[in-house]
Every structure is written in structure tokens, then in C-alpha cells.
Amino acid sequence: MTRHFEVQPGGGLTGRVRVPGDKSISHRSIMLGSIAEGTTHVSGFLEGADALSTMNVFRALGVRIEGPDQGRVTVHGVGLHGLRGVSHPLDCGNAGTAMRLLIGLLAGQKFGSTLIGDESLSKRPMRRVADPLGRMGASIHTVEGRPPVRIEPVPTLRGIDYVMPMASAQVKSSLILAGLYAEGETVVTEPAPTRDHTERMLEGFGVRLTREGASVRLRGGQPLRATDIDVPADISSAAFFLVGASIAAGADLLLEHVGINPTRTGILDILKLMGASIDLINPRTVGGEPVADLRVRSASLRGIAVPPELVPLAIDEFPVLFIAAACASGRTVVTGAEELRVKESDRIAVMADGLRALGIDATPTPDGMVIEGRGATGPVFSAGSIASHGDHRIAMAFAMASLRAAGPLHIDDTLNVATSFPGFVSLAAGAGLKIAEAG
């Protein structure tokens, strides 16, 4: 089964939009709720394929989960040691977050597990979590560093003091989850700040951990107590509309209830450096996570050298940031983003190919890209066909390019958009994008 987008040029973005719930928080709500004692109630849960894969894995492991029903989920926790092993592989679908975090969580169980994924996930590197977990005493086997992943039971895990060679919230979270099952203390130090949803949520479940500068310190064996979780709208999904409204003439859009965790707001900082008009309205805290409504209006963007310290804070948003760069005046340079090459696709290569297919001067580098902006007004992109390589963020990024295109855009292989943003086409069309999806 294949799907594709047909997007007509022009259009605009106005009104009010609430994008689906945060994928990172949705994953973690199921994981931590499952190993907590008591019943956890979740609202705003992302009913996308990735988060549903996590839910199905924990159901297979013996956790009773009700929902999702309009974003509401009830997780009947089984406690830290209540999961049950199964003989069949656990399918993570397209969810890299699910697989990497599960490797850490399952490493300390008294049963073995095998994790598998779809064709895209089966190409993604897992040694980055398997190797440090091996230092903790875990027994993890991959196929040349990639899935399927076999996790064998071991007598015990040992806490370690680990300095991460590269910034990755998934690696950090995997080690923290393994640390719950380890003897002694686990300390993880990251070279640059990454999203801290795991730490925040663990504290919400009553786990004591210490954050000292770039390090997180956790003592193993602590029980989790069930809690209620309100999942904010996903800033990574809001990013498409933040860029779209910034580049579209006459745009004025309000994005409601968006999570603005400071480890996730690189997209806001980068766009503001480029000259975007973004206002935070009614900032508040919901369930330990900062939230605000974001008003974004059309602006004349300018090219910048993206500060390296902002790159890890916007790593998932770079596909659409590359679209913003093409619509800016002057050159945009991105470095330190080599992580983009091992996402659902090689996002540096795929975005560069797509931009060039639409007439943009885009030069990929080993760790980023150089884009010569075509100016802040008028059509920027030529008509054309884009190969998304099944990558949901590539497909949605190029859909926003239609706002400044001279002709129609055909974007192929869009089925995986549902992994992170179910209902993207109807929501975008309702806000003014001239988009349709077909088989």
C-alpha cells in the first residue's frame, strides 16, 4: 500500500490549530505507567502508529491498557518486576524511540526478549545503546549493530558512570531506564543538553534522581507510583506550521497547548534568529511540562549559521528548517547535525536531493547542509516530484514548501506520516494548505 500527497501552490495558514500530542511523552507515559504500581491515567495521548507500537509491546508483556479513546489511555501498572516474557518477537514498527528505550528497560528483566521493526527501523543503529548497556552487564545481541535485537537475561545489572560520546536523548533515556534495575548508582553525562522528558516523568512517578549540570544520577531499585499525565501538543509536529506560517504571505496562526520544554525549543530559537515572528501566549505548567500557545505570523526570514548548541535541541525539526532556509534571504549553514543521517532516512541526503529537485542550491556536508536562500517573498520552489523515502518528516516538510512554490508538488511514499501526525492532511487543509492525499 502506498500513499502520496498532491499539493497545489499558494494557499495560506490562518486560524487556530492543535496538533497531536507529543510523541516522546506519549511513548514514555506507556513505558513508565506499565512498570509503575497502580493505575496511570493519560490524556492527550498521540494515537499515531509509533506510540501505538509501544502500547502493543507492553500489552504483549502482560500490561492491561485501556484505550486510546480520544487521547485518553488507562495503564494498569504491574510494578518494576511485573512484566512477563513472551516467546514471539516484540514489534516496534517504525518507532526508533520505542526500540532504543525498550532495550534499556528490558535489559534488567529476568526473561529474554527479541525486538524487531519495519524495514526502515531495521537499518537504524542500535550499538549506541547496546555498547554502554553491555558495560552495565547486559547481554544484548544485534545484527551488525542493527535490529533485530536479542536481549538475554543476566543475574544483575551494575550501575555505571557513563559519559556519552554524542548527544542523544534516546541513549540517555535507555541507560536511565536500565539504571532502575541496576545495583548501585547510574550516572549519565551528556555532551550537550537533550530532551529531558524521561527525567521529568520519572520524578512525576516518584523516582528520586539528581540532575547536576550535564549529569543525571539515579539509584536503582526505586519503585514507581502511578500518576496522571496530560500530554501537550508535540512541538515537533507544530514545527511544520511554525515554518509554514513564517514563510506564507499573510499568515497568522495560533498553535494551541504546545509543549515548550526548554530541551525541545531549538526550533523556536533558530526561527527567531532567522527573523520569525513568534509569540508565546499564556505560558503554564501542565503535569511538570511547560506549555504555551504559540502565535506565528509571516515574516521576512534571513539566512544564518545555526549555533551548534541549538542543533541537539532541534534535531527532529531540521527537515522543515531546511525549507525555511530556502525561503530566507542569504545563506544558511548547519553543522554538527550528523545524527540526521541515521534517522528514518538519511535526512541530510534526502532533503538535499528534494531541495535541488525544486531548484534550490543545497549542498550536503557530512554533518549538515549549506542552503542558499531564494528570498523572503514570491515563489521559491519550482514544481516537481519529491521522493520522501517513507520518512514522515520529509513528507510534511515538503508539503509546507507548497506555500512558496510556483507549481504543484507531488510527494510520494507518505503512509508513514501517520507514525507521528495522524490527521495531518485534514488539519493542514483546514488551516489553508492546498493539500490532498491519494493512493
The residues carrying an active-site annotation are 316
Instruction: State how far the Cα of 412 lies from the Cα of 62, in Å rounded to an integer.
Output: 38
CB 49 within 8 A of CB 418: yes
DSSP state of 174: H
SS3 86: coil
Cell 540517555, residue?
172
Reference 11, options 376, 428, 438, 437; nearest CA is 428
What ranges in 35-156 are assigned the alpha helix state H? 49-60, 96-106, 127-135
How many helices (H) and strands (E) the chain has is answered by 12, 25
* Element at 392 (helix H, strand E): helix 392-401
The answer for 349, left when phi > 0, alpha when psi is -120 to 50, beta otherwise, is alpha
DSSP state of 84: -
SS3 69: strand
Instruction: State how far the Cα of 112 lies from the Cα of 39, in Å rounded to an integer.
Output: 26
User: Which residues are CB-contacts of 207 (< 8 A; sequence separation ≥ 6)?
Assistant: 180, 218, 222, 224
User: Which residues are CB-contacts of 406 (< 8 A; sequence separation ≥ 6)?
Assistant: 9, 379, 381, 382, 383
SS3 171: helix
Instruction: State how far the Cα of 247 lies from the Cα of 20, in Å rounded to an integer.
Output: 22
- Grid cell in block for residue 33: 505507567
Residue 190, judged by CB atoms within 10 A of its CB (0-12, 13-18, 19+), counts as: buried
* Element at 216 (helix H, strand E): strand 215-219
Helix axes 49-60, 96-106, angle to 10 degrees: 30
CB atoms within 10 A of CB 155: 6
